A and B are shown apart, each in its own frame.
Chain A
Amino acid sequence: MATVEIRDVRKAFGVTEVIHGVSVDIQDGEFVTLVGPSGCGKSTLLRMLAGLESITSGEIRIGPRVVNNVPPKERDIAMVFQNYALYPHMTVADNMAFSLKLRRAPQAEIAKKVNRVAASLGLTKLLDRYPRQLSGGQRQRVAMGRAIVRNPQVFLFDEPLSNLDAKLRVQMRTEIKELHQRLATTTIYVTHDQIEAMTMADKIVVMHDGIVEQIGAPLDLYDHPDNLFVAGFIGSPAMNFLHGTIESSGFRISDDTLLPISSAPPGTEGRKAIYGVRPEHFELSSGGVPATVVVVEPTGSETQVVVRLCGKEVVCLFRERIAARPGETIYISPLPHLIHLFDEKSGRRLQ
């Protein structure tokens, strides 16, 4: 059973604490992404799972075992690094066979496993090449092949697609997801790209400045972000935030502008708050608030329009084509059941 339990883990480098008590529970076979901006501690957490960094306090379990002091090679894990970390002086076949040779597996068994994994990743023709003779995508596949051959309990991915170009990234994303569906191995995947996180994960762990902001399924995080950070991080283009006051019938952002809300949360009337609305949750309606068009960006399938609403720039995403031109006024209305309210001071969601 390859469950992973991270229990109140802290990490300090000298006197600087970088991870402040993180707890995550990962079920067997789950695909979990650790996502967050650079410096949030996600890679450090992954390296602690791998055994490449020591744990200052807290507990990490892989399966039933506490692995705090277990060296990487005995944790039954495999890791794919951001820059692949292929051994340059070995061929692709030797790279993939390395861990099996260390385990002193019989030669025939090694050959069989390497060939099988190479075939599944389309690497059979490349087995005799050296890493320097491969393209970025091929190297990434070899790195994955090296991990798969070990047949570990847990896969760890450390931003494996960051060094690839956009098109290849999309292709490899699908391949990794297919791989996970096929092998059903517990996978922990670190990325700073929230789209990667949304499309690949069963569960997302959003991290920020060494703490966990929210854990949940991708659509849960999208629909019900717990706080400002998660709301602004998940979803692209990012959510719009407007400061104002909650009233019984709406949200006042200026003397003459009231934005719709479905209902004021109990006890919040008159309170200052932040109104969050995603760009895709606006509709064009004659009864809406007036906004001056700043920029129109058609992408073909959608139209992104940046407007000025009460002096604040707001991004809208419409499915339909917009005829408006910069400087013109359009009337937009946020969909009331899809807006979010956050406390101004703490940033927490107001229920």
Chain B
Amino acid sequence: MFRDRVALWMYVVVGLASLVAILPLAWLFVLSLDPTQGVASTSTELSLRNYAAVVFDSFMGRYLVNTTIVAVLTVICTLISACLGAYAASRFRFPGRETVMVGLLIASMTPVIAVLVPLYAYAAKLQMLNTYHVRIIVFTAWQLPGTLWLIRAFLDAIPIELEEAALVDGCSRFGAFVKIVLPLLRPGLIAAGLIVFVYVWNEFIIAVSLASKQDMRLVSVGLYFYLSDFGVEWGKIAAGAIISILPPAILFFLLQRHLIHGLSAGAVK
């Protein structure tokens, strides 16, 4: 089957690595089907009771809705801001351009914990705690620098002559952007959007600091409090974890073609 011995070994190594990566998830899945709530239980009984409990008896549904709202709106705000900024960085020459770009990147490297207390203080003063918009704003600010750099790379790969041709054909500058550049930017936008979505979905520190009320929690926070709210019910926690993974996993699965195309298209010209 394998003409090349090297290929065979590569498959073995990659297979083992994949196994190592998937094993915790597989264990988690098996745990979620165990109704005895023991983490090292040797019982072989399988049931969906944990899932039923999580779905019907807990706030998981509410958490999923909250997280979806915050993540989707963050993606939209980030993409719009990043597109405009990246267009300026890519197409316009102005003094201090590269300084601003590098400055953005450096600023984004600040550890979140360092700014958490001031952030909380601002949010409290402005009476924005436990709202959607405070988290959307903070997450957008957090994701904007990286997304801007990514989209600028994609924009640099789109020849400016296409916009010039559109200008001559009758477009305004903005019209050329919408009609010509955006369709060509689609793979980059999908890749960037997916990355932002997953980061926001998984984020914990900001989420737990800025929203403590139960009905406003995000899924990452909800899972955490599940531990304390109900004692240590490992099966239910595992089921909750599996459910919380599902939306980004499904999104990834549906869009993976675009993601791979988007991440590699920018690299090859």
Contact = CB atoms under 8 A, between A and B. Distances in A.
A77 B184 CA distance: 26
B169 interface: yes
Interface in A140-163: 146, 150
Give the dominant DSSP class at B's interface.
helix
A79 B171 CA distance: 14
A52 B171 CA distance: 13
Interface stretch (A81-89, A225-233, A297-305, A327-335): A81-89
Given A87-B180, A88-B184, A89-B183, A81 B169 contact: no
Given A50-B168, A88-B184, 9 more contacts: A50-B164, A72-B167, A78-B168, A81-B165, A85-B161, A85-B164, A86-B165, A103-B170, A146-B169
Given A87-B180, A88-B184, A89-B183, A52 B164 contact: yes
A87 B162 contact: yes
A322 B150 CA distance: 65
A99 interface: yes
Contacts of B180: 87
Tier of interface size on chain B = 10 to 19
Interface in A49-80: 50-52, 71-73, 77-79
Contacts of A78: 168
B243 to A, nearest CB: 38
Given A89-B183, A89-B184, A73 B161 contact: no
B164 to A, nearest CB: 5
B161 A99 contact: no
Interface in A79-114: 79, 81, 83, 85-89, 98-99, 102-103
Contacts of B184: 88-89
A81 B167 contact: no
B159 A99 contact: no
16 contacts: A50-B168, A52-B167, A72-B164, A73-B167, A73-B168, A73-B169, A81-B164, A81-B165, A85-B165, A87-B162, A87-B180, A88-B162, A88-B184, A89-B184, A98-B166, A99-B169
Interface in B9-52: none
Contacts of B162: 85, 87-88
A150 B167 contact: no
Contact of A79 (B168, B170, B172, B175): B168
Contacts of A50: 164, 168
A145 B252 CA distance: 42
A73 B164 contact: no
A89 B181 CA distance: 10
Contacts of A79: 164-165, 168
Contacts of B159: 83, 85
A98 B169 contact: yes
Contacts of A51: 167-168
Contacts of A99: 169-170
Contacts of B164: 50, 52, 72, 79, 81, 85
A154 to B, nearest CB: 11
A51 B175 CA distance: 17
A40 B180 CA distance: 31
B171 A81 contact: no
A87 B168 CA distance: 13
Interface in B175-189: 175, 180, 183-184
A314 B165 CA distance: 46
Given A88-B184, A89-B183, A89-B184, A102 B161 contact: no
Contacts of A52: 164, 167-168
Nearest to A156: B168
Contact of B170 (A73, A81, A85): A73
Given A85-B161, A87-B180, A102 B168 contact: no
Contacts of B172: 71, 73
Contact of B168 (A77, A88, A103): A77
A277 to B, nearest CB: 42
